[in-house]
């Protein structure tokens, strides 16, 4: 099987955001050459699966304008000319936001950019296109019957290949394949982290209130969080800063020695694929060897609740409310699997919805108290290796497989805590991920911790 575990290298340079930005600023690389390298990568079977639309000509005009200003000695934004792919869930002025569906084909184009998109444009990023995704972001597999199924870079030489993870599947593939230097997605139950794991990259789920949600088509307003994916923790930190209204800074590495990490043993460790378990335990050993204190904890309240993929949930209630009119008028335009999932929220009573919010708040408070002595929680990002596309047919199989993929990631969304996943596999092996869960609203501290642990967790060639 073919799998690249390291950042894509183009013309002897990595596709790390800071490397590309530095090369553009120094004149070592032109914005047009950088763009053309990305467009060449998109011009492939997997490129066509990864994107819904490619804005090649507009992106070329933007790149040429950047190069002209650079030659004229103008002062440019820090990330001028760096390519950016955008999940088909964000508004871009003048474009229709379809959310990976055909249901919104006749919707009016957006009049303004989503705020996070506008901030990235202002920082100089050049949007190369809109990436494919699970329809309306409601699955952890990343499959799409309308625009094709993005595939993990792992195992593309085997049959139909393996899922890229969802819902932000095309965004993750665009980074892994060198189709863009930066990307943004969204995360409601694991939708930046599952694709990041299955594509061998890094992904961040911020605290829900960190990013403005205007101009982002919602799935669940209580759980949705726009977030970045990239080749490194620093890539995610740069994008996180900009999306939240900052200047695009990274965080200084938090020293590993003396850190206290908690392993939430229990249902989150049940039924792990062998390689997932082995890679995670290897990561723990490497961390312990450099002075990180690893403690097993038991969070009994989570054992009782097991919040991931509950048949009746806040997410399902809110998703149905958003889609009930569209389902009533055009259900035949939906992916049948997604329509079935959305319709499942129809019978949730208002009293139950209110009670679920009350219960969630109580669980978050109790878990916060139990985990306060620790700097972060650490666990396998997903219990499974990427599932094979060939075996995923029928609504029941899709639901079961998606639920397993998102079992561990959904915990962070329920607790509303920032979480980052870092690749944990050896080069050439199937991709696995190690997740660090921080404290709510302490996103930048989590990024500093992750920056200090990244080189310990990642297994280099």
Q: Which of 87, 205, 232, 402 is catalytic?
A: 87
**CB atoms closer than 10 angstroms to residue 435:** 29
Partners of 85 in the β-ladder: 129, 183
What's the token pair of residue 331? 């259900």
> Which of left, alpha, beta for 136 (phi over 0: left; psi -120 to 50: alpha)?
left
User: CA 360: distance to chain centroid?
Assistant: 23
Report the DSSP pairing between strands 433-437 and 419-423: antiparallel
Torsion of CA 434, 437, 442, 447, to 10 degrees: 0
Q: 416 Cβ partners below 8 Å, 6+ apart? A: 207, 208, 223, 364, 440
Partners of 377 in the β-ladder: 262, 437
- Whether 26 is a known active-site residue: answer no
> Which of left, alpha, beta for 222 (phi over 0: left; psi -120 to 50: alpha)?
alpha
Q: Which of 18, 139, 167, 168 is catalytic?
A: 167
Which of 418, 433, 415, 434 has its CA nearest to residue 299? 415
- Whether 191 is a known active-site residue: answer yes
- Whether 167 is a known active-site residue: answer yes
Q: Which of 152, 168, 191, 220 is catalytic?
A: 191
**CB atoms closer than 10 angstroms to residue 326:** 17
Helices in 43-146 by DSSP H: which ranges? 45-50, 56-71, 115-122
What is the set of active-site residues?
87, 167, 191
């Amino acid at each position: 099987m073919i799998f690249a575990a390291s950042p894509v290298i183009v013309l002897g340079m990595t596709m790390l955001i800071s490397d590309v930005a530095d090369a553009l600023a120094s004149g070592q690389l032109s914005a047009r050459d950088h763009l053309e390298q990305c467009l060449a990568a998109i011009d492939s079977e997997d490129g066509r699966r990864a994107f819904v639309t490619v804005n090649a000509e507009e992106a070329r005009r933007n790149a040429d304008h950047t190069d002209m200003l650079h030659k004229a000695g103008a002062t440019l934004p820090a990330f001028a000319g760096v390519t950016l792919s955008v999940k088909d869930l964000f508004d871009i002025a003048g474009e229709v936001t379809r959310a990976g569906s055909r249901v919104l084909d006749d919707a009016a184009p957006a009049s303004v950019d989503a705020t996070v998109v506008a901030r990235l444009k202002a920082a100089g990023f050049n949007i190369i296109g809109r990436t494919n995704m699970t329809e309306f972001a409601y699955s952890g597999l990343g499959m799409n019957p309308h625009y094709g199924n993005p595939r993990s870079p792992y195992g593309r030489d085997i049959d139909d290949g393996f899922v890229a993870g969802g819902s932000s599947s095309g965004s993750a593939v665009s980074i892994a394949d060198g189709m863009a230097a930066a990307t943004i997605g969204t995360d409601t139950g694991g939708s930046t982290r599952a694709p990041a794991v299955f594509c061998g990259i890094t992904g961040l789920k911020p605290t829900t209130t960190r990013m403005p949600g205007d101009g982002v088509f919602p799935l669940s307003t209580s759980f949705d969080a726009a977030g970045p994916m990239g080749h490194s923790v620093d890539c995610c930190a740069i994008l996180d800063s900009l999306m939240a209204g900052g200047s695009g800074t990274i965080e200084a590495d938090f020293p590993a020695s003396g850190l206290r990490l908690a392993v939430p043993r229990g249902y989150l460790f049940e039924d792990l694929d062998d390689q997932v378990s082995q890679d995670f335990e290897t990561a723990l050993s490497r961390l312990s060897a450099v002075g990180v204190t690893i403690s097993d904890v038991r969070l009994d309240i989570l054992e009782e609740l097991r919040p991931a993929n509950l048949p009746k949930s806040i997410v399902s209630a809110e998703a149905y409310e958003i889609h009930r009119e569209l389902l009533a008028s055009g259900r035949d335009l939906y992916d049948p699997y997604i329509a079935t999932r959305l319709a499942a929220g129809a019978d949730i009573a208002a009293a139950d919805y209110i009670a679920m919010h009350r219960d969630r708040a109580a669980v978050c408070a109790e878990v916060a108290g139990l985990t306060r002595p620790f700097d972060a929680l650490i666990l396998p990002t997903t219990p499974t290796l990427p599932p094979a596309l060939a075996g995923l047919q029928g609504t029941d199989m899709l639901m079961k497989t998606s639920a397993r993929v998102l079992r561990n990631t959904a915990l962070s969304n329920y607790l509303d805590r920032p979480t980052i996943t870092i690749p944990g596999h050896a080069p050439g092996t199937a991709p696995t991920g190690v997740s660090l869960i921080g404290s709510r609203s302490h996103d930048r501290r989590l990024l500093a911790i992750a920056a200090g642990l990244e080189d310990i967790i990642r297994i280099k060639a």
